[in-house]
């Protein structure tokens, strides 16, 4: 089977559920004297403010912290709350939207030290199933590993999501029907209206809205089922759930569906930009710093995945040094010594590489003519 996916090497790919689009035009922290928006208290990431927040939410069994997936500062806020809870001696686990439930054993093995970070990403299919720059989440996973904090894979398998997207709940194949979650909270008018606004922003095609709605409902119910099952198995632990704000802080989502399965007190936090007056359904708003990840290094190539592996489609407009050794149609066999068989392998090989670094890229040329030739290019990343 041939996949026609094309991307510029090193760029983050967006997949998955609902999350607000990034808006990095922010005021400096000192430019707002606000301590609340409407009736929502604003929490800064300073020690006193965090201490007060954690004391206030200490009685809550579940803490939901919403995010915009590609916002590094949102993930730093999540980590700050997790650290403070841990420092106060709370026995907790971290539930993650960005890992699918079948990957649970791999998360357990990562926390126990049996497998490396890169092995976790490979075994879990992180880049295949999620796609965002892993550096966004790394500090949270590293903290959990250092302190033996359990990680919980919440999300639905891609195969099930694909079945619901293609056929709808009523027509999924038997092998997938067995793991469909029970719909505890059907989509009401408010849920549909909210999702229709999101849908129309991205497609505007009414004929597909019902399937879009069913997929979002699947995500919410499946992740709620995963979280509730963990809470039942571990009655003495608090669960911190990390997921897109649209799943936790915008009307009915994961929290309400967990509550129907496990009626425990919970709270919802989400990040906000200084100067923003946008009201969410969160109980507390975490002030975002605007901190970004360092730019990822790019080869300056558009590539595509085919049956044989990954081939060069064309050069990017911005040319990197050494790129002239590469021509369209070349098969990429290795990057920095790592074997390349898929787009996922490319993402793993390029992880943590920065602009200005030089990498060896091994290529095969002339496959169509039956005269394979090995070519090596030393490319300075852009």
User: How far is Cα 61 from Cα 71, in angstroms, rounded to an integer?
Assistant: 26
Note the pLDDT of residue 47.
82
Contact 356, 380 (CB under 8 A): yes
Note the pLDDT of residue 62.
98
Contact 215, 57 (CB under 8 A): no
Query: Where do the CATH 3.40.50.11550 domains begin and end in the chain?
Result: 32-287
> Tokens 């608090």 belong to which residue?
238
CATH architecture observed for domain 32-287: 3-Layer(aba) Sandwich (3.40)
pLDDT tens sequence for the chain (382 residues)? 333 333 344 433 333 444 433 333 222 233 233 477 777 888 988 888 899 999 999 999 999 999 999 999 999 999 999 999 999 999 999 999 999 999 999 999 999 999 999 999 999 999 999 999 999 999 999 999 999 999 999 999 999 999 999 999 999 999 999 999 999 999 999 999 999 998 988 765 556 899 999 999 999 999 999 999 999 999 999 999 999 999 998 878 999 999 999 999 999 999 999 877 776 789 999 999 999 999 999 999 999 999 999 999 999 988 888 999 999 999 999 999 999 999 999 999 999 999 999 999 999 998 777 788 999 999 999 9
User: Phi/psi at 146 (nearest 5 deg)?
Assistant: -60, -35
DSSP 285: E
User: How far is Cα 255 from Cα 267, in angstroms, rounded to an integer?
Assistant: 8
Query: Where do the CATH 2.30.42.10 domains begin and end in the chain?
Result: 6-10+296-380
* Helix axis angle, 104-112 to 117-124, nearest 10°: 170
Third-level CATH fold of 6-10+296-380: Pdz3 Domain (2.30.42)
Cβ-based neighbour number of residue 218 at 10 Å: 23
Nearest to 67 by CA among 298, 263, 288: 288
Note the pLDDT of residue 207.
61
80: left (phi over 0), alpha (psi -120 to 50) or beta: alpha
Residues 6+ apart with CB under 8 A from 162: none
Note the pLDDT of residue 204.
52
């Amino acid at each position: 089977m041939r996949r026609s996916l094309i991307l510029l090497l090193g760029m983050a790919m967006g997949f998955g559920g609902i999350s607000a689009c990034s808006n990095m035009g922010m005021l400096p922290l000192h430019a707002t004297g606000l301590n609340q928006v409407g009736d929502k208290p604003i929490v800064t990431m300073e020690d006193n403010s965090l201490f007060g927040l954690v004391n206030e939410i200490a009685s809550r069994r579940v803490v939901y912290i919403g995010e915009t997936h590609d916002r590094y500062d949102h993930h730093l806020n999540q980590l700050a709350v997790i650290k403070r809870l841990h420092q106060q001696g709370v026995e907790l686990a971290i539930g993650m939207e960005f890992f699918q439930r079948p990957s649970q054993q791999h998360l357990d093995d990562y926390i126990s030290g049996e497998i490396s970070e890169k092995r976790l990403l490979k075994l879990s299919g992180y880049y295949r199933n999620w796609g965002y720059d892993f550096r966004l989440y790394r500090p949270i996973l590293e903290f959990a590993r250092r302190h033996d904090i359990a990680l919980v894979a919440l999300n639905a398998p891609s195969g099930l999501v694909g079945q619901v997207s293609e056929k709808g709940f009523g027509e999924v194949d038997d092998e997938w029907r067995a793991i469909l979650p029970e719909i505890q909270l059907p989509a009401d008018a408010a849920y549909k209206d909210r999702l229709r606004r999101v849908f129309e922003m991205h497609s505007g095609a009414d004929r597909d809205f019902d399937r879009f709605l069913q997929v979002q409902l699947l995500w919410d119910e499946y992740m709620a089922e995963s979280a509730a099952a963990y809470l039942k198995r571990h009655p003495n632990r608090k669960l911190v759930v990390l997921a897109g704000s649209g799943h936790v802080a915008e009307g009915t989502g994961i929290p309400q569906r967990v509550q129907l399965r496990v009626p425990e007190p919970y709270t919802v936090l989400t990040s906000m930009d200084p100067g923003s007056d946008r009201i969410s359904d969160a109980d507390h708003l975490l002030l975002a710093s605007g901190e970004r990840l360092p730019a990822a290094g790019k080869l300056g190539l558009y590539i595509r995945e085919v049956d044989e592996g990954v081939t060069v489609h064309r050069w990017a407009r911005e040319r990197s040094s050494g790129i002239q050794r590469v021509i369209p149609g070349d098969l990429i066999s290795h990057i920095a010594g790592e074997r390349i068989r898929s787009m996922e392998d490319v993402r793993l090989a390029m992880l943590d590489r920065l602009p200005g670094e030089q990498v060896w890229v091994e290529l095969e040329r002339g496959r169509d003519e039956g005269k394979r030739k090995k070519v090596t290019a030393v490319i300075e990343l852009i």
